[in-house]
Structures are given as structure tokens and as C-alpha cells.
Structure 1
Amino acid sequence: MDHCLSLVRAADRPIGTARYGHMFPSLDPLKIDSSALLRAGDVGGMCDALTVEGDDATEAAGWPFFGQLIAHDITADRSPISGGALRNARAPLLNLEILYADGPIGSPFLFDVADPDRFLLAGSDVPRNQQGVALIGDPRNDVHLISLALHVALLRAHNRLGLSFEEARVQLTWHYQWVIVHDFLPRLVGPALVSSVLAEGGRWYAPALSEAFIPLEFADAAYRYGHGQVRHSYRLVDGGPARPLFPDLAGFGPPAHRVDLAQLFDMPGRPPAQRAKRLDGRLAASLIGLPARVTGEVSEAAYRSLAVRDLVRGENTGLPSGEAVAALMGETPVPSPAWPAGTPLWFYILEEAAQLCDGNRLGPVGGRIVAEVLIGLLRADPASYLTLEPDWQPTLPAAGPVFGLTDLLGD
């Protein structure tokens, strides 16, 4: 318990709009030459996936984008105070704030005036103002067409419930939380690790009720795994052309293409979807050269690369090496010859996944960080199903024997 309290105290410092802290405060930051990070992540460096064939993983292509929505949800929590201002430091929650914002009273533009229990939709899009800016609970979910399609699918799931706003919000949120624990996490870290964390609690992350924070080892390393799962290109409709995520599918405007989620997730009665890219420390070209509309102006061309940004972010926030975290956890570090002085934690987690899990899921270090944080956030939330009713089961219909994400996404 003392260890857990020390972690919470380490998170008291506000960064942005949520509380952040170190998950492994006893470990020293990795010292590494910044120029080496830029070379590794830039065009032609070790993080540049030069081949575009033969790197499919076992899971469907849409899962890392669901993970992206979870990341937005954790960091989008609102806590209204007088005058509509927001507190600078608040507990991160998995409560679909990305959809609901401040509800029909605080965010009326999201809801149908004639029926404020329901979201307002514009066909397969969210409503937009005269300049094409999305009227959406979290603008980050408009960054590309796939995240927007998932956002709209969840809005439709709320509307299908046919309940009052508050009843529908609780129902959808609890089903979403169930999906995270029983569908998303087992695919990402393995069912045995999920079962272990549920039964035994977190070894390294177990904040008290309402005292959660976001570990930097999670936010700036382990949970950036999804960048390595982005495919080189995506087919959005059956028989359609394959397009790179950026710039072709970039958002922040009315959708230019229709997205059939059955191309991204294994939907009942439909052919298998495209697969996610294998985790191997290499990113697709569309992420190595992000468009200016996503990055904004940059001081160096290398900062167009998401790999560079991931590597530099870990350095800036003082993350330890992957080898140091593995040793602390009692795991045998995987060899990483390219980093003789120690491997940046983000890259280490991708390399560990490649060497130990054939790139199909996270290994023991990355998997434990992610599982402990997501389950720990739910257990620290006084309104989550894991806190209020841990034996709760989904009540919505399931196409298969176990309720899953595709049961929420289907019409």
C-alpha cells in the first residue's frame, strides 16, 4: 500500500489537463544522444518500415484505432466548476467523455433539440459548422476517417438504446468498459495477464479510489504501441482501393470517403477484415512523414515523423530504459543491439512484442504496463462497473457467445 501511495503522490504535478506521474519512480531516466533519436525515427532510419508486404498480424486492423479512442477518453475528462471553467488537474476516467462532453445541458450542440436524449447525426458524419468544423465531443476523434467512423458508431449505439440520456450514458459506458477489459485487453496483452491483474491487482499501478493518474511510462511509451500497428494502406469498402492513412484519410473536414467497419473489424456474417500491422518497431510511411495539417509547423523536418516524436517524448519526460523496467519487473530483457547504452522504452516495447509474441500482441513489460493502467483506472473510478458491480455482465444482445466491441459497432 505504501508503494501505491508514493505513486499517487508522484502524480500530483498537473501536466496539460490531467495528472501525470512516473510508474517506476525509482528508475533513472535513460540518457541518450538526441541526434541518435532523430536518426532512428526519421525517413530511412531503423523505425521506417521500408517493406509493405508480409507484415500482417493476427488481429483486425481496427483495434489500434479503438485503442486511440481509449487514449482520447482518458485524457479528455471534464470537471466543470463555476463559470464553466475546468480544473487543471483531474483524475483520468474511461467514461466516454469523448462522446458526451458536458451532456445536453452543457454541450447542447451535440444533441437533437427535438429529442435531447439522443445525439444529433448527419448521416454517417457528425454535424459540422459552416466551415466544416466537427461539432463533436472530442475534436481529436476527427483526425482521420477511421476514428471518426468509430465515434459515429458509438453515437449510434447510444441512440439505439432508446433510454433517457442518463440511463443510456451509464449503459453504454459500462458496456464500453466491459469491452476494454474482456475484448480489447485480452487481444492486446493476452488473456492470462488480464486474468492475473483482475485477480491480484496491479503490482506497479494501483491508485486509490478517485486518486488515479496517468503514468508517463504508459502515456509516452507503452500505450503508443498502436503507432506500430497502423497499416501501410486501408481498404475502406469492399473492393475499393487501398489508401494510406495520411494524407488520404486525414480528417478535420467532411468525410471524403465512406468507411465500412467490416473492412476493419471481424463482423458476424462478413468476410474477415484486413489485419493490423505487426508490432516490430517500424512505422508505415504515412506516419514517418505526417502532413502539416496534422503536425502543424515544425522546426525540423524530422518532426514530421511520428517515430521521432515518440522517441523524443520519452526522452523529454525522463523515461527509463526498457531494459531497466524489465529488470525491475523480474523479466529477462530482450536483446536490442541497436541501442547499446539502453533502449528507449517505446522502442523496447515494440521490439519485445516482435521477439516474444511475433508482433501479434504486447510482451510482458508492455503488456503489464497497459493492463495495470487500464484496469487500475477503472478500479479507481467510483462510477465504473468494476467499482460498483464487478460481477456485472452485459445486457445488450451479442452475436456470439461473448459480448464484444463488434456488438456495439453494428447497426
Structure 2
Amino acid sequence: MTTGSDEQRPSTREAISARVRSLAIEAGARPSDHGFGRMFPALATPSRGIGEGPRTLKDLARLAAAMAATAEGPDGRPPRRRGEGDADIPAAYAFLVEFVLNDLVWERRPVEEAGVAGATGCAPIGTFSSLFNRRSGCLDLESVYDAPRDPAAVRRMLLGEVWRNPLGEPALPPKKSPRNDLPRHPRALDPARDRVPRMSDARNDRSLPLSQLHVAFLKAHNALVATGRSFEAARRALRQRYQWMVLFDLLPKIADPAVVEAVMSEGPLLWRQDRPGDIFIPVEFWAAAFAIAPSLARPSYDYNRHLRDTEAAALSTRAALGPSGSGPDGLPANLVIAWEGFLPLEAEAPQRARRLDTTLAGAPDTVEAAALRHLSRGYRLGLPSGQAVAQHLGLKPLRDDTLLAALPEAQRVAALPFCEATPLWFYILAEAGDPAGPAGKHLGPVGSRIVAEALWTLARHSDASILAPGELRDFDRFTLSDLVLLAAEEDG
């Protein structure tokens, strides 16, 4: 999973805009929109990092290869039967993490990561002035509302119809309406244009579960409109429910409960932004602490009654749509998700996400590529080491034997060069998986503090924030299950 960045081919208009921005920066201008910054600026020195130069890059490549060597594949066990590598978190929350990160961060010109293993003279960037976040950096559901409304009912968001041939095959699942797909452009020979969603950011269409989660948000907005709300009132209501879901449903599942309770009761201690205009996305959050979807992802899923124990890689939307210019007009009707397999919506327990640790699921080459992307991004952004952050927080860091003890044996040799200064993303996963610590149940103290403070601050400065003093809301709680149930009202 690659989240928070976009690698699609830019349009001519976007290319021209990027050139104009580049020229403006060269002339001394600075972007007025929200961008990126450091949660711990005092640690932005080479002595607090993991080292620089070709040797460090080669060591990062070896570490990524070691993560591939421990890659977890399907084991033939029915996904809904609990296994050793499962966490207590329902499987859908892995996709919610990915959705939230995509909603917060859309870096159109991601940090260059190609050729890291063999690069020479490659140094971390010294400034973030060339990085642009096209999102507000707040929990405003921009990824949902940056899309067309239904022209037949402008208060509603536009949905797409699932595909069935003239004979009605494949059949719709029970209790599902035809409108259970993203609105799509027509077939085209150009893969970059072929049946892509009618929204500016198509990252949430990369996998079927993530795409169906995005559909659930669209349908939830329409269900709120169906209660008599205007477009603006429905958007406000859904944004507030989303903020509640992130802070009080998702966050307690992935972070240390004690840290979450402290941040919710006392507010942030380390990263407090009091003025809305000062809000930015901390790179320690974006590129490390909240980049945990690859660790939570399962090797296989029971997607619905047609796709049982299906490898995660086979659940790509492109595979479902088929080759460019041919195949169905949209998502085939038999590929609508069965949410009861991902969330506790029925008596049988749902599939669970993987526990948090340095073992990722998937084919070894896919895992190595994903690990190298994350490790490379942290290097290029000049992130501090995990030990430096832990010491800054007044915590006893994992290092040497305690770090190695938290890792699978097959990763320990490759981790030796980083025993004293570990890449922050890898350190946070190791800390979460530490058998003497959280043992994969949730993030450890460093990861929990970064994620909890960042999400609290970003929510506080979101539109109609539920954390604003005196802010009223028309609900008591709203979980991911509640979102799916609300969206299901549109199928009635």
C-alpha cells in the first residue's frame, strides 16, 4: 500500500501548474496553503538521524529485502478463523487507516524514491518548500467532497451503477442496490483514463475494499440528505461523524489506551498548534507513525461469497475491471463487498487485521518494494531516528539487544547497522511488535504519542470540529460499523 502520495501521470494542465509553482518558488514565493513540517524540529540534525550517504542507502535496501524474507502469505486457514498473526482489530480498520491518510495527504510530487538502492551522493532534503499538500491537512473529508454531485438531485453525491449484462448477470447481492460503485469515466484505451473514478484523486480506487469504503462515505452523505438535510448540513454532519470515528473509534484501536486517554483529556503536550493558519502535516506522522496500513493488511480476505480466501493483491480494482478499453463498464455486481466479513455486524466474528510489527503480508517482491518506499521516504525527508524521538519524549529507547529481540530472526542481521539509530518507520513497527511491549496489539509509546497528538490537532482545526468549545452535534457516537449501516440505508 502506498498512501499519502500520488503517482498517477499528471495532465497537461497539472504539469503547467507544477511548472508555474516551481518558477514562483524560485522567485522567492511560498505556498499559502497547508503543507508539511516537523513535529520535532529540534531533531532535524544529521546527528539525530540514521546517517547519510551510499552506505546507508545500501543498508536500507538490505533491510527492505530482509522484510521481504519474512513476508507473510496465505496459509490456507479460513480468514475468519483467528490465527497467530491476527490482532483484535476488525480487518476493515486497515483500510480506514489508508483512507484517512489519503484524506489528509495528497502529495502530487512525492519525494523521489527511485533507484535508492544504487544511488550515490543522495542526501536528505533540507527544506520542505518544494513539497505541496493538495489537501487541507484536516479531517474534512476532502477526498469525498472533491467529486461531482448527482445532477438529478444536487444535494446528493453522485454514485456509479455496478455492471450487469442485459441478462442481469452477474446478479446483485441480496439487499444491495445497483448504485454501489464509484462514478466512472467511460472505457478508454489509455490506462490512465480507462474507467477511472470521476474525482480528482483516484488513490482510493486502488483496491476493492478501499474503493467500497469510499462508496460507503458517498452513500452515508446521501442517507443524511434523505433525512431532509441540505447539502451543507449533510456534509457538516458527516464530517463531524468522521472526526468522531477517527478520534474515538480508530485511534483507541491502534494506539496505546493510556496515551490516547491522556491526549484526549489534556490535549497535546508536544505538538500544539493554536492558529489554524499554522497547521501542517508532520512528516513524522505521515511518513512513519501513521504509515501502518501495510502492517495491518492481511495476506488474504474473504471479500464476499464469491471471493473466499483471496490474496489481497488479487483484490485490485484494475484486475476487477479488466484490460484497458474492454470488459465491464464498471464494477461487476458480484464484486460488491460483504462488510459483515470485515466488521462486527453479525454473530460470526469478522476477519481481523494483522498485528502491528515489522512483518508485512504479500508476495516477497511486493513487500520489498513497499518497505523500500517507506524506508526511502523517511531517509529523503531527513526523519530523526526512532531512538532520538524516544529520548526526546523521555522514554527508554529500543536499541541493540532490545531492538533485535523485537524483530523476527530473519531481520536481525540486516537491522544491525541501525541498532543505535533506526529508521523511524521501522522503529515504530518494531516498537509495536515488541514481545516485551505491546506485542502487536497497538502502537508503542513513540508511535502512539505521534499519532494521537497529530490526529487530535488536525481534528481540532477541522471544519465544524467536534473538539471546538461549544460545538454541538446531533449524535452520541459513530463507529466504522455505524458508517456502513448508515450507508446501507441507501440500499433499502
Superposition TM-score, scaled by structure 1 size: 0.81
Which aligned segments of 4 or more residues in structure 1 are displaced greater than 4 angstroms?
13-18, 43-47, 50-53, 87-91
Taking a change above 3 Å as real, the CA distance of residues 270 and 354 of structure 1, as seen in their structure-2 partners, is same
Q: SS in structure 1 opposite 2:475?
A: coil
Aligned partners of 1:21 and 1:216 also within 8 Å: yes
Q: Give the SS at the match of 2:451.
A: helix
Secondary structure of the corresponding residue to residue 429 of structure 2: helix
Equivalence for 1:386? 467
Are residues 1:154 and 2:217 paired?
A: yes
When residues 348 and 168 of structure 1 are mapped into structure 2, their CA distance, relative to the original with a 3 A threshold, is: same
Report the CA distance between 1:255 and its aligned residue: 3.2
- Match of residue 319 from structure 1: 383
Picking from 57, 61, 82, the partner of 1:34 is 57
Q: Is the 8 A contact 1:14 1:20 kept in 2?
A: no
Is 2:439 aligned against 1:350? no
**Does 2:358 align with 1:281?**
yes
1:117 and 2:164 aligned: no
Distance (Å, rounded) in 2 between the aligned partners of 1:276 and 1:382: 30
Q: Structure 1, residues 166-208: CA drift from partner, whole Å, max 9, x if none?
A: 0100001101111111111111113332221122221221112
Query: Per-residue deviation at 1:24?
Result: 1.2
Whether the 8 Å contact between 1:41 and 1:288 is mirrored in structure 2 is: no
Match of 1:263 among 334, 341, 354: 341
How far 1:37 moved relative to its partner?
A: 1.1
Larger Rg: 2
The 8 Å contact of residues 145 and 255 in structure 1, kept in 2 or not, is answered as no
185, 192, 213: which is aligned to 2:280? 213
| 1:245 and 1:286 in contact (8 A); partners too | no
Counterpart residue identity of residue 431, structure 2: E
1:185 & 1:403 partners in 2: Cα distance?
13
CA distance in 1, matches of 2:58, 2:33: 30
> How many residues get paired?
363
Distance 1:14 1:59, change over 3 A: farther
Q: What is the CA distance between 1:308 and its match in structure 2?
A: 0.9
The alpha carbon displacement at 1:113 in A equals 1.2
Go from structure 1 to structure 2 and tell me whether the alpha carbon gap of 1:14 and 1:244 turns closer, same or farther (over 3 Å shift).
farther
Counterpart of 1:383 in 2: which secondary structure? coil
Q: CA deviation at 1:409?
A: 1.1
CA distance in 2, matches of 1:279, 1:17: 34
Change (3 A) 1:345 1:60: same
Aligned to 1:10: none
Would the aligned equivalents of 2:182 and 2:197 in 1 still touch at CA under 8 Å?
Answer: yes
Q: What residue ranges of structure 2 are gaps of 5+ in the alignment?
A: 1-28, 76-82, 109-131, 162-178, 188-194, 322-329, 405-414
- Counterpart of 1:135 in structure 2 is 198
Q: Does 1:75 align with 2:155?
A: no
Q: CA offset at residue 373 of structure 1?
A: 0.2
Moved more, 29-38 or 251-260: 251-260
User: Which of 153, 167, 170 is 2:236 aligned to?
Assistant: 170
Aligned residue for 2:144? 99
Q: What is the distance in 1 between the residues matched to 2:237 and 2:214?
A: 17
Letter in 2 for 1:227: P
Distance 2:279 2:207 in 1: 29
Q: Distance in 1 between matches of 2:458 and 2:91?
A: 26
In the alignment, is the contact (CA less than 8 A) between 2:68 and 2:364 conserved in 1?
A: no
Q: Say which of 184, 187, 212 aligns to 2:253.
A: 187
What is the CA deviation profile of residues 325-366 of structure 1, one whole-angstrom value per residue up to 9, with x for unaligned ones?
A: 111111111222333242111111111111111102111100
Q: Secondary structure at the match of 2:440?
A: coil
Contact 1:15 1:89 survives alignment (8 Å) = no
Does 2:453 correspond to 1:372? yes
1:88 Cα deviation from its structure 2 partner: 6.9
Separation (CA, whole Å) in 1 of partners of 2:36 and 2:465: 21
**Is the contact between residue 33 and residue 136 of structure 2 (CA under 8 Å) also seen in structure 1?**
no
Per-residue CA deviations over 1:149-176 (Å, capped at 9, x if unaligned) read 1011111111111221101000011011
Taking the aligned partners of 2:95 and 2:134, their CA distance within structure 1 comes to 26
Give the CA deviation at 1:251.
2.0
Alpha-carbon displacement from aligned partner over 1:215-254 (angstroms, at most 9, x marks no partner)? 11111110111211110111111474211222x1112543
Structure 2 CA distance for partners of 1:29 and 1:258, relative to 1, 3 Å: same
Deviation at 1:145, TM superposition (A): 0.5
The gaps in structure 1 that reach 5 residues or longer are: 1-12, 79-86, 102-106, 291-301, 397-401
Distance 1:117 1:369, change over 3 A: same
1:382 Cα deviation from its structure 2 partner: 5.5
- TM-score, normalized by length of structure 2? 0.68
Which residue matches 1:395?
475
Q: Which SS does the other structure have where 1:336 is aligned?
A: helix
Residues 187, 361 of structure 1: 8 Å contact kept: yes
Q: Separation in 1 of the partners of 2:444 and 2:30?
A: 30
**Structure 1 partner of 2:299:** 232
Q: CA deviation at 1:381?
A: 3.1
Paired with 1:362 and 1:222, the residues of 2 have a C-alpha distance of 9
3-state SS of 2:156 partner: strand
Is 158-167 or 31-40 further displaced after alignment? Answer: 31-40
Residues 331 and 152 of structure 1, relative CA distance in 2, 3 Å threshold: same
Aligned residues with identical type, % of pairs: 35
Instruction: Please tell me whether residue 22 in structure 1 is matched to residue 22 in structure 2.
Output: no
